[in-house]
Amino acid sequence: MLIKALIACVVGLALGLWATALSLRSGRGFDATTIGAWTVSEKAGAPDADPYTRAGLERSGEIPLAAGEGLQFIARADDTGAALNSRCTYLVGRVTPPARYWTLSLVDRQGFPVENPAARYGFRSSEIVRDADGGFVIAVAASAHSGNWLPIGSEGRFALALRLYDSPVSATAGAIEKTAMPRISRESCR
């Protein structure tokens, strides 16, 4: 009987810790809102954030943006739901929700920029090359592209981070239409 209880305890402990690590790595709490390929946690850093969001922030150590400062959206997959793959080329763009400034950058699984020969880690709304109609396209690819090229840098999983600064949508991220977010379409893969 004791042996059985012990086995249950050990297995339970291991399972519980594993589930905890897994849920923190996924980086999304109950507060998270998904809009197309993008996920945003409006409550990151808010005093009433859910326990998963708070535990995730404690582990990652990031300094979240306050609702009054802006919003950070993360995409780990393309529009079809397939995980972003360093062997593929993606076209990201045309529009973003309204904001005084925005940036779109590439990060690794831990949230850090990825080394690349061009030393290009992201684009600002104020420096990007736009089409005649004001839209933009960013090519996310391992090899050089004309126009706005965001290099993938290395093998492995990566994510895209879209940050809106001083945006009127800060308080109502859940109400953003899918069409207002940049699309992430996979073009070709090696």
Question: Applying CB under 8 A, which residues contact another protein?
Answer: 4-5, 7-9, 11-17, 19-20, 23-24, 45-47, 49, 51-52, 54-55, 57-69, 72, 100-101, 103, 105, 107, 110-115, 121-122, 124, 126-127, 161, 163, 165-166
Q: How far is the CB of 142 from another protein (least distance, A)?
A: 16
Query: Collapsing DSSP states into helix, strand and coil, what is residue 9?
Result: helix
| Strands of the 137-141 sheet, one edge to the other | 148-151, 137-141, 88-93, 183-189
Q: How far is the CB of 185 from another protein (least distance, A)?
A: 24
Q: Which is nearer to another protein, 1 or 188 (CB)?
A: 1
Core vs surface per residue 105-140: b (16+ CB within 10 A) or e: bbbeeeeebbebeeeebbbebeebeeeeeeebbbbb
Find out whether 130 and 79 touch, Cβ atoms under 8 Å.
no
Q: Which is nearer to another protein, 118 or 189 (CB)?
A: 118
Pair of tokens at residue 120: 């290009």
Q: How far is the CB of 18 from another protein (least distance, A)?
A: 8
Q: Which is nearer to another protein, 23 or 33 (CB)?
A: 23
Q: How far is the CB of 137 from another protein (least distance, A)?
A: 19
Pair of tokens at residue 99: 């904001």
Q: Which is nearer to another protein, 111 or 135 (CB)?
A: 111
How far is C-alpha 102 from the chain's CA centre?
14
